[in-house]
Amino acid sequence: MKKVFVLAAAAIMMVTANVKAQEINNVKVASPVVNYNVNMNMRSLTRFLLLDEQQASVMAYASDNLIYDLRKAGNEKEVKQPAAVREAVTRNLKLAHNILDDKQYRDYLTVLNRTLNNKGLALLMQRDENVAMAE
């Protein structure tokens, strides 16, 4: 009787261990936390880039467009999000390049790069590059 009980307990433990192993193998790797809510302090940006009044107004417009496009990218399907973020950033950089001189543009790239890294969006864009290279 004792042997039957031990055999039944061992069988239950083996089944439980097998089920847990399958659950562990089926777990998806969590994506990094991405924050699509980007806010830019235009007063600080204007002071840092030494923008004149006209440049400041156009950069405020470009900043508002970037914020809108990034929020829209956050509402896209997960597969389309990296491409939407890349498109929004590319559009913003083209506009900024037309407005700013070379030194201001380099400084703006630094600020935008740090902002995207802090929000987790740079990793999302890199993941999109890796997928594009694999295809």
Residue 120 forms part of a structural domain: yes
Q: Do the Cβ atoms of 42 and 59 come closer than 8 Å?
A: yes
Q: Do the Cβ atoms of 112 and 48 come closer than 8 Å?
A: no
Residue 37 forms part of a structural domain: no
Look at the chain and report how many structural domains it folds into.
1
Residue 72 forms part of a structural domain: yes
In the block, tokens 């740090």 appear at 114
Which DSSP category does 80 fall into?
A: T
Per the prediction, the chain carries an average pLDDT of 75
> If we measure between CA atoms, which residue out of 99, 102, 109 comes closest to residue 53?
99
Range of the domain at 119: 42-134
Q: Do the Cβ atoms of 66 and 88 come closer than 8 Å?
A: yes
Residue 29 forms part of a structural domain: no
Residue 21 pLDDT more than 60? no
Residue 98 forms part of a structural domain: yes
Range 16-23 average pLDDT:
62
Sign for the CA dihedral angle at 97, 104, 48, 35 comes to positive
Residue 14 forms part of a structural domain: no
Query: Is the pTM value of this prediction over 0.75?
Result: no
Residue 88 forms part of a structural domain: yes
Residue 4 forms part of a structural domain: no
